Structure 1
Amino acid sequence: MNDIVWPVNPVYPCIIDVSHDDIDGLNHANNGSYVKWCEQAAWEHSQALGLGIKDYQALDRGMAVRHAEYHYLAPAILNDKLIFATWLSHSAGSKMTREFYVVRQSDHKVILTAVWKLVCIEISSGKIKRLPTEFIDVYGKAVITQE
């Protein structure tokens, strides 16, 4: 992974193995699998930073996807290993932006790029709220911008 040129540094890498369950009738990974994998990478990154689902529940706050863009650039097939690199690129008020850059490990081909626009919600009511101090302290320090 050290020889891959990422859009920003450092990124959080998550390795995904494309399995039979991910393959659709066109013999490539189904679009829905990418959504699931992005969620997996996002949670792994959040937990690595120090905020997991139990923290969200204790704070009655969470980051919810308000808008998502997925740019499918090349197919992934059975047994491909994909590196889902993710990072936070913006955080302010009640909003955050999370980005993804996905490459096939074998040839470093870019498979997908994605951007999530997130909003902080009060879990109990679903209402939009400002980022709590705990989110600002953890996520704010993790924001990486492109140079």
Structure 2
Amino acid sequence: MINWDLPNVHVLSVTVPAEAIDVMGHVNNTEYLRFMEQIAWDHTRVLGLGWDIYQHLNRGMVARHTEVDYLAPAFEGETLQIGTWIVDNDNRISITRRYQIVRESDGLTLLRGRTRWVCVALDSGKPRRMPPEFLQGYKVTAQE
């Protein structure tokens, strides 16, 4: 049983591949960022958005600021449960997404993180207000 930090979690299961392991013998810190990006895209698609919608609207969400607390290592072959929530939407240009990565075998939380995502125009990279589709899709899914 996994003790998620917040309710209404969106979960993605990942098995740690050999290429994620660094010289220290555990998952490299940069791989955790990849896992966070994977679940952000997975959740975005589930929310009815995704790259095709981004292109149609000429809008996308880009990471502005990420905080990560690495709490324990993960190793090759382990199954990780990656959870995410949208915990803030300013209804203008940004959302905040939280993450929790848990080792399935023992329920230990390995990472907690958060990213502030900013809406930009795809053609210029400049910050722009979220279109109505983003305001609807990126609603807050859990209160902190």
Deviation at 1:143, TM superposition (A): 3.0
Which letter maps to 2:125? G
1:143 and 1:17 mapped to 2: Cα distance? 26
Deviations 1:96-128 (A, max 9, x none): 001101100000001001100111001101110
| Structural RMSD (CA) | 0.9
1:136 and 1:19 mapped to 2: Cα distance? 36
CA contact 2:3–2:107 (8 Å) conserved in 1:
no
CA contact 1:91–1:143 (8 Å) conserved in 2:
no
CA contact 2:10–2:85 (8 Å) conserved in 1:
yes
Flag structure 2 segments of 5+ consecutive residues without an equivalent: none
Verify: 1:23 aligned to 2:21, yes or no: yes
Deviations 1:53-92 (A, max 9, x none): 1100110001100001111000001111100000100011
CA contact 1:68–1:114 (8 Å) conserved in 2:
yes
Alignment TM-score, normalising by the size of structure 1: 0.94
Match of 1:85 in 2: 83
Aligned partner of 2:45 among 44, 47, 60: 47
Alignment TM-score, normalising by the size of structure 2: 0.96
Which letter maps to 2:134? F
Flag structure 1 segments of 5+ consecutive residues without an equivalent: none
Segments of 4+ in structure 1 off by > 6 A?
none
Aligned length: 143
Match of 2:7 in 1: 9
CA contact 1:102–1:111 (8 Å) conserved in 2:
yes
Q: Any idea what SS the aligned residue of 1:98 has?
A: strand
Deviation at 1:4, TM superposition (A): 1.7
Verify: 1:127 aligned to 2:112, yes or no: no
